[in-house]
Structure 1
């Protein structure tokens, strides 16, 4: 596949995520979703056609539809595969999956507390765009985070990471995403 063909495959996802990210007030997340998605698509295209992945496929063309299966297989082998995990989050958000891909951020949140910012955005995205309360899914993902590190981020940092850490701590303490997000977002303006 050429670069142009890869871009053609992912462009509907890029356009959708970019527009919706602006709508939900977090355009900064787009690159953190699209860069891994793009790389994972290149990885899929580079996968030898003799690999078991291609067995039973209608053809050996890398497509956005096959990307879901490919990324899921990679996460199944290695839960810490951030490119594959972020690819699945991007596709879940694009398709409006009920959980917003939050389970695929759990490993990252455990390793890097600053990733709670993207977990909160994903939960808010589904809540604001689909109308589903994602508090439970967010709480499950956040439960992997180091609470002391979150407390430090909430106290010592400025900007979205600090706000997200405060939201995360309040959700972990039993608050609903809608109430907590609204309160902290209002205070930050």
Structure 2
């Protein structure tokens, strides 16, 4: 990816941290967390590696081919998994965006694939719109809500109630990771 080196290193750190947290989520007691954590971890680490400034490491041509193959396989897996879990559609679009960026770097390092002049290529524009919408929608879901009124049932951690959530099981932290990776995807698409 091309752009200021400091911004690239911040993106590397953000995506690597999100990927590491998603690896921890793979050990969650909550099945929903485990189902999506692997795809999120792959996306986080893949984005971190792709965001390393080209001035530091100029990936050889085969690296972009490997990226295309890995994220192409992730997209196929996401198509299969999307039959039962709607979140995998987001993984599908994310994997497709990674394939698109890999192909762009493979065909024309330093330029957009299919970029014939001024303006943004239509596919890049569509991906930018999707990830902008995803970040705004997911970010709004992170906004605090007033607590639900107590219904007289046992509370979390109380005898007979559900056990308290561990820090790796918190859905709001997983959502925050997805928001940060969505912002990272926007940054990568803008600097492609």
TM-score (norm 1): 0.31
Structure of greater relative contact order (alpha carbons < 8 Å, 6+ residues apart): 2
Q: Which has the higher helix share?
A: 1
TM-score (norm 2): 0.31
